Chains A and B, each alone.
Chain A
Amino acid sequence: MKVLYFAWLKEKTGIGQEDVDLPGDVTDVAGLIDWLKSRGDGYASAFADVTTVRAAVNQEHVPFDHPLRNGDEVAFFPPVTGG
């Protein structure tokens, strides 16, 4: 599964994009966040306050209870500020 990070989530994780094997017990976006947080301080810091984090799966905005499948493209970012 491809996971992407943008804006300050990219700065805190130190990663723009990575390939991860989805653990068997992770079934949705919230589960993926919990698993990512266990992978190191950068991740824990990036996801410390998930009320400031938004997610997209396969380039569509989704809520955290959105289901995940291996092969999905998942992205994490702050609320958008374009325009």
Chain B
Amino acid sequence: MIRVQQDDFDPGQELDALARGNAAIGGVCSFIGLVRDFADGDSITAMTLEHYPGMTEKQLADIEAEAQARWPLDATLIIHRYGELKPGDRIVMVACASAHREAAFEACHFLIDWLKTKAPFWKKEHARSGGKWVEAKDKDDVAAMRWRKDEN
């Protein structure tokens, strides 16, 4: 399931809902990303998340379908927020449910790594000195590379 929203969410409720009613699920793995209060030595007071409505949903659906094709998953969830956020706020949650833990762990890691390099979101960090668009990090590309298949 894909959700792109301004509002916060309750991770406990989301995890319960993901596995409810399917006793074939043996494990659920999740990752939650939060707004940090520091960046490059600056104190961050707020963050604005912009996205490309339409392409965001399309890219997230493609990423989710790719995870489901690669691992035996019973359920997947991607929630990504946009708009005005404060330090400590939740930004993103991905979760995968499977009969066994390996698939759940690996698919969860894959989802967040791929999302970071493919989903059209842009972060602007606000500090006392002003606002600054976050630059993409090479290490995110490296993290995503490991999930590329040999034939790509």
Contact = CB atoms under 8 A, between A and B. Distances in A.
Interface of A: 4, 6-8, 56, 59-61, 75, 77-83
B127 interface: no
Interface of B: 33, 49-52, 54-55, 58-59, 80, 91-92, 112, 115-124, 133-136, 140
A81 B121 contact: yes
Nearest to B121: A82
Given A7-B50, A7-B133, A8-B133, A80 B55 contact: no
Q: Tell me which of A8, A56, A82 has the highest count of chain B C-beta atoms within 10 A of its own C-beta.
A: A82
Interface of A, helix, strand, loop or mixed by DSSP:
loop
A77 B59 CA distance: 15
B116 A80 contact: yes
Contact of A75 (B50, B52, B140): B52
Given A8-B133, A83-B92, A61 B52 contact: no
A74 to B, nearest CB: 11
B120 A56 contact: yes
A78 B30 CA distance: 28
Contact of A80 (B33, B91, B119): B119
